């Protein structure tokens, strides 16, 4: 079945550690890729998106993601996390209708 | 302020009652999407609407659930005869286009609890 998979369900890091969250999708053809973040009790906010062009995408708050077409992956990275990055992170894909297909989400807990 | 307004933020219903969730998209957005987030799960697409039209309802349960987006007023997600399994967070998102080439903006969600 076509899907979006996030490998890590729960990640615990200390401040200043580096972060990489995995995301793979199984759709063929052209896709648009997104990472959203949901801070506790808040709505989803867009971190970054990839539509075309440079496969290394920079987003807000120091996050970046790399689209690797051959691996069907769109992993999220941040060199040095902060306590305020504690949140749930969702990878998502759209095709031509705009509906988002989400991964299961990854809960990131950053210890001060 | 996300721009997409959902109300109520919290809704409590008893089994068998009806739940109505409202969503006003961002100004200038005519495409509305509803998603459901069950406990310990990711968001699942339910329905995609444009003004007065349902474009894609492939994620809607076959019974008890309906959605509309009238010419005037907010989009409504309606759940009839609610059951415990309907307890979830329901998120609305809007977009200026429906082709996937614009990111969606999300509301704060409605947390539905069924007693």
CB contact under 8 A, A97 and B104: no
CA distance A48 to A42: 18
What is the per-residue pLDDT for B33?
96
**C-alpha of B77 from chain center:** 5
What is the per-residue pLDDT for B97?
80
Residue segments in chain A with a per-residue pLDDT below the cut of 70:
1-2
Neighbours of A77 (CB within 10 A): 14
Residue segments in chain B with a per-residue pLDDT below the cut of 70:
1-2
**C-alpha of B73 from chain center:** 14
What is the per-residue pLDDT for A24?
96
Query: Looking at CA atoms only, how far is residue A94 from chain B in angstroms?
Result: 6
The chain A residue lying nearest B36, using CA atoms, is A102
What is the per-residue pLDDT for A1?
59
What is the per-residue pLDDT for A54?
94
- Chain A residues with a Cβ under 8 Å from any Cβ in chain B: 32, 34, 36, 42-46, 49, 51, 90, 94-105
What is the per-residue pLDDT for A41?
82
- From the candidates B24, B36, B43, B97, which should be mutated to test the interface with A, based on the most A CB atoms within 10 A? B43
What is the per-residue pLDDT for B88?
96
The chain B residue lying nearest A107, using CA atoms, is B40
What is the per-residue pLDDT for A28?
77
- From the candidates B103, B105, B107, B110, which should be mutated to test the interface with A, based on the most A CB atoms within 10 A? B103
B34 in contact with A at a CB cutoff of 8 Å? no
The answer to whether the peptide bond before residue A95 is cis (omega within 30 degrees of 0) is no
CA distance A98 to B95: 9
What is the per-residue pLDDT for A2?
62
> Which of B:71-110 have CB within 8 Å of A?
91, 93, 95, 97-109
């Amino acid at each position: 079945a076509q899907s979006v998979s996030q490998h890590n369900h729960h990640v615990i890091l200390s401040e200043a550690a580096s972060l990489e969250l995995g995301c793979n999708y199984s759709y063929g053809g052209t896709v648009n890729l997104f990472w959203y973040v949901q801070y506790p009790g808040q709505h989803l906010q867009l971190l970054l998106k990839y539509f075309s062009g440079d496969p290394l995408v920079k987003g807000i708050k120091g996050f970046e993601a790399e689209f690797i077409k051959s691996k069907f992956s769109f992993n999220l990275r941040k060199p040095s996390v902060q306590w305020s990055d504690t949140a749930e992170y969702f990878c998502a894909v759209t095709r031509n209708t705009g509906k988002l297909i989400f991964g299961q989400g990854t809960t990131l807990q950053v210890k001060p | 302020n996300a721009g997409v307004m959902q109300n109520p933020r919290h809704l409590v219903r008893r089994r068998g009652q009806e739940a109505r969730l409202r969503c006003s998209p961002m100004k200038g957005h005519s495409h509305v999407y509803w998603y459901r987030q069950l406990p310990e799960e990711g968001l699942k697409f339910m329905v995609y609407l444009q003004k007065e039209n349902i474009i894609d309802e492939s994620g809607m349960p076959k019974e008890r659930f309906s959605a509309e987006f009238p010419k005037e007023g907010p989009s409504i997600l309606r759940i009839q005869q609610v059951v415990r399994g309907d307890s979830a967070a329901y998120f609305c998102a809007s977009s200026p286009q429906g082709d996937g080439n614009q990111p969606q903006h999300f509301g704060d969600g409605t947390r539905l609890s069924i007693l």
